[in-house]
């Protein structure tokens, strides 16, 4: 769906940086309902992203209806992918959102290819498919229908309460294919959340989302991520959160310690300097060797999560992106050349470099996977 021009201010695309890199651009629009956000509506040339074979992630295919994310989490590790569009990984990531207006229809065509083997498709691995714009663009229902119609298991990880709009559809889909739903929630402190994740629904709203998912008869795991050193990592904080999650009916929890890859690192440390300057030195020491906190620290936090989880009788959520009912992701992929190979023949309509959207994703999820093994 595209918004009508009556409700929008149509931008002069030449006035914005980076748009020469967004191929398939239909128009750029703003809405009074989304102050400061510009949506770049594109006709994408492919919907499925293939995760490189070297990735340890338990899925090989992803769909990202949006690039950029108005949830604006300061720690978001996908920030760096926006630079492929010649947009910056800070404010532009939060406010210059690429919308693949034809993603559902396109996905249906790709999944109809005779050699599609129905491998699981993961969503919410790079940007949030239920960010606020989804309330207006309504891209996900067509995506869900396409996946279901083509017997393709799928998973969704989100912070967005817009997902509750599609619960009926998701419950129907789960009758036919394995569906995995996960909510991302790492803290209960409303003040910290508003500062750290300024575009996201409140923790209470996300707990309500968990309850709604469970009430719809769908299992819901929660990814506690990222756990922030010295801010949200105490045993008491973790126990409070996991207790609320248990009461909300989650089927399992897992956690990930903050990961600071380039793109997110600068943005996060700037935020830390403003809001918690007393912690800057400690973070610089913790992350002096790279994107990960030291292994000892990650183990300690993992032990805390595990002990709280066991104490409260909750299982580990085996993999936040894994559809329930899929005993193991099939290793079989597409035979070479059987499906669009973006690296060789870009088909996405987002940008020339959108052929590398998968690369960006892969970079992000590889690192995430490395940490997932801790929990």
Residues that bind ligand SF4 (CB under 6 A): 69, 71-73, 76, 78, 127-128, 159
Cβ atoms within 10 Å, residue 117? 14
Apex CA 337: angle with CA 23 and CA 64, to 5°? 40
Q: Which is nearer to ligand SF4, 69 or 339 (CB)?
A: 69
Q: Which is nearer to ligand SF4, 79 or 298 (CB)?
A: 79
**Shortest CB 354 distance to ligand SF4, Å:** 17
72/143 with CB nearer ligand SF4: 72
CA torsion, ordered 344, 100, 61, 336, to nearest 10 deg: -30
What's the half-sphere exposure (Cβ side, CA atoms, 13 Å) at 234?
7
Q: What would the two tokens of residue 198 be?
A: 């300024």
Q: With respect to ligand SF4, which residue has the nearer C-beta, 45 or 159?
A: 159
The token pair at 102 is 């034809």
Measured from the CB atom, the residue of 60 and 159 that comes closer to ligand SF4 is 159
Look up tokens 């993603």; give the residue. 103
Question: Alpha helices of the chain — where are they, by DSSP H?
Answer: 91-95, 103-111, 134-137, 140-149, 167-176, 190-196, 203-215, 235-248, 264-275, 280-286, 295-311, 357-372
Phi/psi at 263 (5° precision): 105, -55
Q: Which is nearer to ligand SF4, 157 or 173 (CB)?
A: 157
Least distance in Å: CB of 225 to ligand SF4? 8
Between the CA of residue 297 and those of 173, 229, 258, 368, 375, what are the distances in Å? 40, 9, 11, 16, 13
Q: Compute how many other C-beta atoms are within 10 angstroms of the C-beta atom of residue 318.
A: 15
- The least distance separating ligand SF4 from the CB of residue 133, rounded to whole angstroms, comes to 11
Minimum distance from CB of 79 to ligand SF4 (Å)?
Answer: 7
Strand partners, 38: 30, 96
Minimum CB distance to ligand SF4, residue 219 (Å): 21
Beta carbon of residue 75, minimum distance to ligand SF4 (angstroms, whole number): 7
Measured from the CB atom, is 60 or 71 closer to ligand SF4? 71
Task: Tell me whether residue 159 or residue 265 sits nearer to ligand SF4 (CB atom).
Answer: 159
Q: Structure tokens of 324?
A: 């329930």
CB closer to ligand SF4 out of 76 and 218: 76
d(CA 26, CA 39): 10
Q: Report, in Å, the least distance between residue 94 CB and ligand SF4.
A: 7
Please report, in angstroms and rounded to a whole number, the separation of the first and last CA atoms in the chain.
40
| Least gap, CB of 69 to ligand SF4 (angstroms) | 3
DSSP state, residue 165: G
Distance (Å, rounded) from C-alpha 334 to C-alpha 317?
A: 28
């Amino acid at each position: 769906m595209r918004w009508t021009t009556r409700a929008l201010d149509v931008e002069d695309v030449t006035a914005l940086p980076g748009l020469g890199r967004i191929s398939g651009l239909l128009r750029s629009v703003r809405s009074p309902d989304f102050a400061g956000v510009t949506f770049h509506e594109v006709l994408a040339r492919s919907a499925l992203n293939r995760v490189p074979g070297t990735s340890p992630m338990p899925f090989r295919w992803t769909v990202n209806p949006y690039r950029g994310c108005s949830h604006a989490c300061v720690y978001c590790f996908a920030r760096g992918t926006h630079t492929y569009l010649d947009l910056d990984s800070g404010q532009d990531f939060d406010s210059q959102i690429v919308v693949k207006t034809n993603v559902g229809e396109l996905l249906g065509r790709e999944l109809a290819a005779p050699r599609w083997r129905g491998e699981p498709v993961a969503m919410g691995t790079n940007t949030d498919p239920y960010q606020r714009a989804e309330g207006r663009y309504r891209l996900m229902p067509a995506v869900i229908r396409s996946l279901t119609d083509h017997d393709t298991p799928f998973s969704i990880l989100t912070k967005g309460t817009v997902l509750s709009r599609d619960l009926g559809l998701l419950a129907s889909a789960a009758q036919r294919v394995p569906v995995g739903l996960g909510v991302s929630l790492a803290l209960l402190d409303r003040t910290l959340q508003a500062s750290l994740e300024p575009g996201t629904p409140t923790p209470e709203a996300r707990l309500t989302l968990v309850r709604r998912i469970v009430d719809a008869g769908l299992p819901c795991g929660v990814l506690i991520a990222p756990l922030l050193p010295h801010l949200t990592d105490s045993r008491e904080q973790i126990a409070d959160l996991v207790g609320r999650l248990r009461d909300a009916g989650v089927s399992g929890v897992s956690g990930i310690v903050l990961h600071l890859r380039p793109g997110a690192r600068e943005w996060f440390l700037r935020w830390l300097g403003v809001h918690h300057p007393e912690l800057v030195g400690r973070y610089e020491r913790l992350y002096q060797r790279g994107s990960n906190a030291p292994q000892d620290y990650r183990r300690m936090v993992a032990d805390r999560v595990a002990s709280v989880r066991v104490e409260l009788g909750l299982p580990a959520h085996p993999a936040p992106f894994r559809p329930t009912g899929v005993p193991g992701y099939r290793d079989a992929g597409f035979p070479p050349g059987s499906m669009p190979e973006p690296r060789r023949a870009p088909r996405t309509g987002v940008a020339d470099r959108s052929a590398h959207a998968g690369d960006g994703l892969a970079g992000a999820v590889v690192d995430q996977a490395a940490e997932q093994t801790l929990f």
